[in-house]
Structure 1
């Protein structure tokens, strides 16, 4: 067997290549190994610097006397034919609109909410349904801005429309709710702040900066009244009460 030994030149080239490859491997691994402890330290620092926060909900409300009444009134008429029913409804609606204008209600404050015409059926002795007539009707939304005259307006409508008239109800409100809403919002914010300060005190912290604040939908419930009217009642006594505005806010505070 003949053993061939590499030449001195070939041996030198192999050693040089090995040295270069080893340097590359070492050069790429070193930064990665150096960066690993650095990333770990950053993660630990981020966890240590995460602020302690508290989330609270504040509720606020404000009340005021109403200065606006919204009436729901209408007329209905039943006749044998659809044409006759609509004609009777038109006559009653014209009387209603006329008396509203005489009571000082502006046209911009009168709006038709619905108009209807439908057949009226009865059941025969044989059990069949038979159309015996038609009923037509129209309902209106009326704003009374002089709230002290609300009962008088209702009585006038009832008197002018007679049996065809319908008083469906009245809701009291404020014409401009912005001032009421501002007061309710201030109360809600103070409630949230006071709750957060209490949580900070109870947990051994001090109240820090406000991180975020959001407001929910405001609610302004209006009391409704459905009066029962006598045909000869000239005016209706009403009790407007108060209008309330409710606002809810959600706040996040930092504890330090």
Structure 2
């Protein structure tokens, strides 16, 4: 038996009216969601944006320590411990909180004299190193001086680095500058091409440099130091992005 087109249409209408699941219209949730594709022949412009931001440092990190040499290991450790205690007392007197002082290493090793070829034990060297965070940058020089005054010839200054306690806002400003730079370049290229700048298609961060302090001093013995000037300078963060815009 052959059904006419009219009969088939009537049957479908009846099934839909009955709520037949097989013929129910798909819901919005069942439809696949696909990102809007860029037509293959669409005109685009790809640009690189660079940005930077600067700030005054609000933190100094000092690498300080003590070192002592003696005939016996016990004597070396005793001398080192006494110098370390004096160092810690001095930085605390300068207003540095206990949470901002951390022991980085403690060492004890033999000292040999290699004159004549065969090594000859001459004593022992004991050392201890600390990192000291100075949250009042203007006090950095005073802390350095306090270390050398307290520990004397045993004092060692390994480094002084400056930075920011919270680098996130500075890095965010660098990213904003990079984004603005990319858009300004894209607008210029669109204008030169006789087009208008369309929507942003893609954006990726190529590189960013989290604000990092730069070493300001080498390994310097403490003896003989008078006033200790410190120049914090400026902390800088940078960011580079690649952006693709449509041209309309």
Aligned residue number for residue 31 of structure 1: none
Aligned residue number for residue 198 of structure 1: 188
Aligned residue number for residue 70 of structure 1: 61
Pick aligned residue for 1:189 from 164, 176, 179: 179
Task: Show the 5 A alignment for 1:33-182.
Answer: 49-125=40-116, 127-182=117-172
User: Which blocks of at least 5 consecutive residues in structure 1 are unaligned?
Assistant: 1-45
Name the SS for the 1:217 alignment partner: strand
TM-score by length of 1: 0.74
| 1:121 Cα deviation from its structure 2 partner | 1.6
Give runs of ≥4 in structure 1 deviating > 4 Å.
46-49, 227-230
Aligned residue number for residue 225 of structure 1: 216
Is the alpha carbon distance of 1:74 and 1:106 closer, same or farther for their aligned partners in structure 2, counting shifts above 3 Å? same
| 1:169 Cα deviation from its structure 2 partner | 1.8
Deviations 1:191-222 (A, max 9, x none): 11112222223334322111111223333242
User: Which blocks of at least 5 consecutive residues in structure 2 are unaligned?
Assistant: 1-36
Name the SS for the 1:187 alignment partner: helix
Aligned residue number for residue 11 of structure 1: none
Choose 156-165 or 220-229, whichever is displaced more.
Answer: 220-229
Choose 65-74 or 192-201, whichever is displaced more.
Answer: 192-201
Tell me whether 1:238 sits opposite 2:207 in the alignment.
no
CA contact (8 A) 2:153 2:222 kept: no
Q: Whose Rg is larger?
A: 1
| 1:139 Cα deviation from its structure 2 partner | 1.2
- Write the distance in 1 (CA, Å) between the matches of 2:200 and 2:108: 58
- Write the distance in 1 (CA, Å) between the matches of 2:41 and 2:157: 62
